[in-house]
Amino acid sequence: AGTNQEKDPKFWNAWAQRTLKNALTLQELNKNKAKNLILFLGDGMGVPTVTAARILKGQLNGQNGEETQLEMDKFPFVSLSKTYNTNAQVPDSAGTATAYLCGVKANEGTVGVSAAAVRSQCNTTQGNEVTSILKWAKDAGKSVGIVTTTRVNHATPSAAYAHCVDRDWYSDNEMPAEALQAGCKDIARQLFENIPNIDVIMGGGRKYMFPKNASDVEYPNILKHSGTRKDGRNLVEEWVDRMKNKKGRYVWNKTQLLSLNPNNVDYLLGLFEPGDMTYDLERNAESDPSLTEMVDVAIKILKKNPSGFYLLVEGGRIDHGHHEGKAKQALHEAVEMDRAIGRAGLLTSDHETLTIVTADHSHVFSFGGYTPRGNTIFGLAPMLSDVDQKPFTSILYGNGPGYKVINGARENVSTVDYKGNNYQAQAAVPLNAETHGGEDVAVFAKGPLAHLLHGVHEQNYIPHVMAYAACIGQNREHCMSSSGSAGLRPAFSIVATILSAVRLLC
């Protein structure tokens, strides 16, 4: 139930007036040049996931939940992103990553190549490569970093550095012989070769960097965690050798990471699991860093560069939780990413840092059922089904592994632990893995030129805004070239004038 103060109209009027006062301050647009750029990508974090994560965050803090503010909720500018791939109405994480990192829409399953490239066809790679904002930033003298809870060579991060017609070519072990013979490179190799001086790389994916059957440092007796590389290369050792005189450090556990002094580290490679990192709910807090801890160290290293930095942060396992029908895992991943957003905000200034939070795509995840205020987000709807007279959870999926029929009828959820970490919410259609959703996703923005994210945009617009704000890539000419810290050219004020005129017309 709501609080007593919510029964008084003065409460709501005062809240709205405070919100209005804050909104009026936005008339003074932040037209500074963005020294730093941060993109937080919640993989699979559609609007229903954002709302449910907000409620969960509040309930974890002992509140009803609905009135809670996520860190991303506090961002002043919000727009929508159209997520389709060039060949897919409902997209995947590779084609979408190419859009929001390289500024070009692409086919599903491909990273860092245009739509002229065909999935899994190696000979369509050459000539169709597209570069990412991470490269544009590096070329402009900025430090750059990638932090993810998935493998560092997974779909989202790989579009920042790789040009690959198949997102699944994690190492040469996963590639067909004809692709290797034709000269295509696996994604792990491209991580170290394409842009050899990425300043910070953190996530999972250790096994793809080591020779086939090489024992894993953390799980030496578990065969599935052993190295995968057929070419016999030890990419980590090669990186360490290359960086040994450049203040480079390789770490594989939380203790090593948190013992680093960022002032003494210029290059950091952190690989904390053989595959994806573990779900935050199951994370070993002694050995594995949280996303927030990784982001904290990354920013402290990157911000030393007087020219600024670009950082890609992926909360990548929101997506995995949903695919498995495990809403509790997915939502806790989203709450942890929101914590990381808060930490980044403490370490940077909106005056000079453009921060964007968005998703690559949504999922067929929903919650409803006329639940009362403060109902636990993982709880039951207040009524029984008027068709089969059984209870049902508020959270449901349109499809996925949670489809359960017992003796020809829907499973009675009151007989199972529907609040368990790995409970698979009921789904309408049986699938081994739940699917993505095709609706638009939210884009939250704060900092210099954040107001350019203002309506319904194609997803590939996002890196163009970021590049424009920082005067890098094809938009570098918009800033005076005489000084690295020079202000923006009048082109910015012209754009702002046009935008305000358009608003008046609307």
pLDDT at 333 over 60: yes
pLDDT at 490 over 60: no
CA 218 to chain centre: 26
Q: What is the pLDDT of residues 298-317, one digit of tens each?
A: 999 999 999 999 999 999 99
pLDDT at 489: 44
The average pLDDT across 78-93 equals 99
Share of the chain above pLDDT 70, in %: 95
Q: What is the pLDDT of residues 267-293, one digit of tens each?
A: 999 999 999 999 999 999 999 999 999
Residue ranges matching CATH 3.40.720.10 in the chain: 32-364+436-495
pLDDT at 416: 97
Taking residue 316's Cβ as centre, other Cβ atoms within 10 Å add up to: 29
pLDDT at 491: 47
> 3-state SS string over 297-328?
HHHHHHCCCCCCEEEEEEECHHHHHHHCCCHH
- Please say whether the dihedral angle defined by the alpha carbons of residues 203, 208, 210 and 214, taken in this order, is positive or negative: positive
96 labelled ligand-binding: no
What is the pLDDT confidence band of residue 3, given thresholds at 50, 70 and 90? confident
- The residues near 313 (Cβ < 8 Å, ≥ 6 apart) are 38, 39, 40, 41, 147, 148, 291, 295, 298, 337, 340, 344
218 labelled ligand-binding: no
Share of the chain above pLDDT 90, in %: 93
pLDDT at 101: 99
Contact 456/385 with Cβ under 8 angstroms? no
25 labelled ligand-binding: no
The half-sphere exposure of 224 on its side-chain side, counting CA atoms within 13 A, is 2
Between 148 and 505, where is the model more confident? 148
pLDDT at 354: 99
CA angle 104, 110, 114 (to 5 degrees): 35
351 labelled ligand-binding: no
pLDDT at 404: 92
The average pLDDT across 62-88 equals 98
What is the pLDDT confidence band of residue 477, given thresholds at 50, 70 and 90? confident
CA–CA dist 372, 394 (Å, integer) = 11
360 labelled ligand-binding: yes
Residue-averaged pLDDT of the chain = 95
Q: What is the pTM for the complete model shown?
A: 0.95
66 labelled ligand-binding: no
Between 329 and 480, where is the model more confident? 329
Q: What is the pLDDT of residues 96-129, one digit of tens each?
A: 999 999 999 999 999 999 999 999 999 999 999 9
Q: Kindly name the residue from 93, 143, 366, 394 that is annotated as catalytic.
A: 93
pLDDT at 482 over 50: no
Rounded to 10°, the helix 327-347/47-60 angle is 80
319 labelled ligand-binding: yes
363 labelled ligand-binding: no
Contact 247/268 with Cβ under 8 angstroms? no
Q: What is the pLDDT of residues 6-36, one digit of tens each?
A: 999 999 999 999 999 999 999 999 999 999 9
Q: What is the pLDDT of residues 146-201, one digit of tens each?
A: 999 999 999 999 999 999 999 999 999 999 999 999 999 999 999 999 999 999 99
Structure tokens at 47: 């609007």
pLDDT at 479: 83
What is the pLDDT confidence band of residue 488, given thresholds at 50, 70 and 90? low
Contact 70/57 with Cβ under 8 angstroms? yes
296 labelled ligand-binding: no
In the residue annotation, 93 being an active-site residue is answered as: yes
Give the class (CATH, top level) of 32-364+436-495: alpha beta
Q: What is the pLDDT of residues 357-394, one digit of tens each?
A: 999 999 999 999 999 999 999 999 999 999 999 999 99
pLDDT at 273: 99
